[in-house]
């Protein structure tokens, strides 16, 4: 436990420490206190990148949850849970980069998707599905799907389905029963899924780089960090971005946990 904590905390402390140092023009840092890195990340350029990152993260997370929730619900009720679980997990045993290149092969102008649409007569000329925000969101949602399904499935499987049957016996419709009974009882699983999905998406580099191509509207904070670190050889700015995001994430996470716990307590108190 001590070793694990040490290996986790020390790198974070180093990142925080570097964020308050001065950039060395030849790379690395000068051990002199400075807030220049934080002034840089609050500039207009970084604000635009942050805006695009938040938009992509929001829509990719929303799409992932909209697909994951019905999948997890169906899996929890199915007699073939193990088979369905394998169908979801097995594709993700392949290399992450290989799967992204597979999506490039599907979405490019002479790719599989255009071939199908041309054969069906839906389009007359190939359409470039790559290098736009929609493509980035779709691929990010695909790569995040298992991380959303598994916590949701775990929460739904523990749910007492007799509550839904009782609600239907009392005249409640199926969708109303799900919204009023199932969703409040699996709120913890929903929050966990959203956290597991949104945080990795927020820091993504490979998907927006390969699928978005660095075009306007697809450039994310992970790419900005890589560019500043490798091209400009500026260590304090990426460290400052990481430090700020870490604290914002922690504040958001604990705020959601506190709010969720309070709602759960209120719900249990009403149903005693």
Token pair belonging to 101: 């290149």
SS3 74: helix
- What's the rounded Cα separation, in Å, for the pair 231 and 221? 15
pLDDT at 209: 94
pLDDT of residue 179: 87
Q: According to the model, what pLDDT value does residue 272 have?
A: 61
CA 47 from centroid of its chain's CA atoms: 20
The series of mean pLDDT values per 10 residues for the chain, 272 residues long, is: 79 92 85 92 90 96 96 91 87 88 92 91 88 95 93 91 84 85 88 90 93 89 90 90 86 77 71 63
- Tokens standing for residue 212: 């978005």
pLDDT at 75: 92
Structure tokens at 218: 């697809």
Here the tokens at position 9 are: 């905390």
Classify 203 as helix, strand or coil: coil
Between β-strands 22-23 and 29-30, what pairing exists: parallel, antiparallel or unpaired?
A: antiparallel
pTM: 0.87
What pLDDT was estimated at residue 256? 73
- The pLDDT score that the predictor gives to residue 1 is 66
Return the closest-CA partner of residue 75 out of 3, 166, 151, 2: 151
Q: Given this model, what pLDDT does residue 243 score?
A: 92
Torsion, Cα 260 265 270 272, to 10 degrees, reads 140
**Looking at the DSSP assignment, which residues form a beta bridge with residue 30?**
22
Is residue 23 classed as helix, strand or coil in its secondary structure? strand
Rounded to an integer, what distance in angstroms lies between the CA atom of residue 118 and that of residue 34? 58
| CATH pick for 43-270 out of 3.40.50.720, 1.10.3720.10, 3.40.50.1010, 3.40.50.2300 | 1.10.3720.10
Q: How far is CA 213 from CA 44, 78, 223, in A?
A: 22, 40, 10
DSSP string, 92-158: GGS-HHHHHHHHHHHHSTTSHHHHHHHHHTS-SS----SSSHHHHHHHHHHHHHHHHHHHHHHHHHT
Long-range Cβ contact pairs of 262-270 (< 8 A, separation 24 or more): 263/184, 263/187, 264/187, 264/188, 267/184
Burial class (CB in 10 A: 0-12, 13-18, 19+), 37: buried
């Amino acid at each position: 436990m001590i070793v694990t904590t040490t290996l986790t905390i020390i790198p974070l402390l180093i990142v925080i420490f570097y964020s308050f140092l001065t950039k060395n023009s030849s790379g690395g840092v000068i051990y002199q206190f400075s807030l220049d890195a934080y002034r840089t990340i609050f500039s207009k350029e970084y604000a635009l990148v942050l805006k695009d990152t938040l938009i992509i993260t929001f829509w990719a997370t929303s799409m992932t949850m909209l697909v994951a929730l019905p999948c997890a619900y169906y899996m929890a009720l199915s007699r073939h849970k193990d088979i369905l679980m394998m169908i979801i997990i097995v594709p993700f045993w392949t290399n992450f980069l290989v799967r992204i290149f597979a999506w490039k092969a599907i979405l490019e102008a002479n790719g599989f998707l255009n071939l199908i649409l041309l054969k069906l007569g839906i389009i007359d000329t190939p359409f470039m599905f790559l290098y736009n925000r929609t493509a980035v969101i779709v691929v990010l949602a695909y790569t995040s799907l298992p991380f959303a399904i598994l916590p949701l499935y775990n929460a739904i499987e523990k749910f007492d389905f007799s509550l839904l049957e009782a609600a239907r016996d009392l005249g409640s419709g199926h969708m109303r029963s799900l919204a009023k009974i199932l969703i409040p009882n699996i709120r913890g699983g929903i929050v966990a899924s959203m956290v597991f999905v949104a945080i990795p998406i927020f820091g993504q580099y490979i998907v927006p780089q390969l699928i978005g191509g660095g075009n306007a509207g697809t450039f994310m904070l992970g790419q900005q960090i890589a560019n500043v670190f490798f091209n400009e050889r500026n260590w304090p700015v990426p460290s400052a971005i990481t430090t700020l995001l870490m604290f914002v994430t922690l504040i958001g996470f604990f705020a959601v946990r506190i709010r969720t716990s309070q709602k759960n307590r209120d719900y249990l108190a009403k149903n005693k």
